[in-house]
A = this chain, B = another copy of it.
Amino acid sequence: MLNVALLGFGVVGSGTAEILTENRELIKKRVGQEVNIKYILDLRDFPDSPFEKLIVHDFNIILNDPDVSVVAEMMGGSHPAYEFSKAALEAGKSVVTSNKECVAKFGDELLKIAAKNGCRYMFEASVGGGIPIIRPMMNDLTPVNVTAISGILNGTTNYILTKMSAGGVDFATVLANAQEKGYAERNPSADVDGLDAARKIVILTALATGIIVDADSIYCEGITKITEYDMDVAETFGYSIKLIGRFEKTKDGKILCMVSPRFVSANNPLYTVNDVFNGILVSSDMLDETMFYGRGAGKLPTAGAVVADILDIVSGLDSIKKLEWKRADAEDVADISEYSCRRVFTFEGTDVNKIEAVFGNIGQLVVNEGKISFVTSFMTEKDADELVAKCDMDLVSKFRIL
């Protein structure tokens, strides 16, 4: 029998308790061993919960109990999640987590401590909720060079963008609606400003490259400024707008990591990833494109990933041990001003000649409501900014095309 302790009895924590309990027999049959919840750490009491008796308020009870071999950290936030994880690993207890903030900030250090103490730090639930993505990247993609990743990594923003794309409703209204339904937090900044997606693309990039970049340092643009007009342009041009976390290996082997809303064309498999679903498209030298799709958040999907990690430990799968991340230094990271893609610009005005004089060969174009929207050829961030400055019309919006 394996004893686990759950840290945090919120949405994911209670989902984990539920799966371990309801699928107890299935789990025993599949991994050949019973998995028992010995403690649940939370500040609150849960007098009406069937798990009431397992609740403890002091982490030391868990830390000092030699029977507990796995700790599932589902508290969120950096502190005390980091301190508890570190202490558990140093005591030789494996840690599984759904906490992307903690993995993105301290993953390199915690992996090192785990390796040193013969235990494991696992985080399948930290990216893509119920979508198996961490393990496939570690095992199935081992023999290939991952050259790029494009991910719809945040369910809240994808829900908002999906609703906006249906038309007739602006960002603020959809956000308020999403908050009512519990799809968005009261303080939605980490989602709508892109930081949550930034942490996740940083974790995926570390899996692809072995180098972990500071999530706060990458280019990160959210979805708050997207208008109904932008949505109309996207539809007219045959695209959808998605918040994309993007990793690319540049020609000189550097890491380019960014989050921004993008125009996604109808023949891209990410185009149909709607509502709260996530999709992660991985490009590699040998497999071409592989996509992983599913519920990126939610109680049971995320808890399912936590439990899968716990069961990996029970089964003795030891792939995580080999994981080592180096903290990125300046020369690992590409200069975003050199990043090249096609773009969609919208300017105030109707003078197409002026646009063509500045931007040269342009692709699709639409003039509507006193505005011009058009698709540019490939150009770097730097060149795009220079052309915008050169154009004496007012820029309304700009989007990168995926």
Please give the residue numbers on chain A whose beta carbons come within 8 Å of chain B beta carbons, in ascending order: 19-20, 23, 26-27, 30-32, 124, 130-132, 135-136, 139-145, 267, 269, 271-274, 277, 284-295, 298, 300-301, 303-305, 307-308, 311-312, 315-319, 322
Q: Which 3 A-B pairs have the closest CB atoms?
A: A132-B140, A291-B293, A290-B294
B317 touches A300 (CB 8 A): no
The 27 sampled A-B contact pairs (Cβ below 8 Å) are: A19-B144, A20-B143, A23-B286, A26-B145, A27-B142, A30-B322, A31-B142, A124-B140, A130-B287, A132-B132, A132-B136, A132-B290, A139-B308, A139-B311, A139-B317, A140-B304, A267-B274, A269-B273, A287-B295, A287-B300, A288-B295, A288-B300, A289-B293, A291-B292, A315-B318, A316-B318, A317-B317
Q: Give the residues in chain B near A124, CB-CB below 8 Å.
A: 140
Asked if A295 and B289 make an inter-chain contact with CB atoms under 8 angstroms apart, the answer reads yes
Q: A287-B295, A290-B294, A300-B287 are in contact. Are A141 and B308 (CB under 8 A)?
A: yes
Q: A31-B142, A132-B140, A317-B139 are in contact. Are A293 and B294 (CB under 8 A)?
A: no
A289 touching B300, Cβ below 8 Å: no
Minimum CB–CB distance from A305 to chain B (whole Å) comes to 7
Integer count of this chain's copies in the complex: 2
Helix, strand, loop or mixed for chain A's interface? mixed
Contact B23 A145, beta carbon cutoff 8 Å: yes
Given A32-B322, A288-B301, A322-B31: A307 and B271 interface contact (C-beta under 8 Å) = no
Provide the residues of chain B in CB contact with A298, threshold 8 Å. 288
CB distance from A155 to the nearest CB of B (A): 12
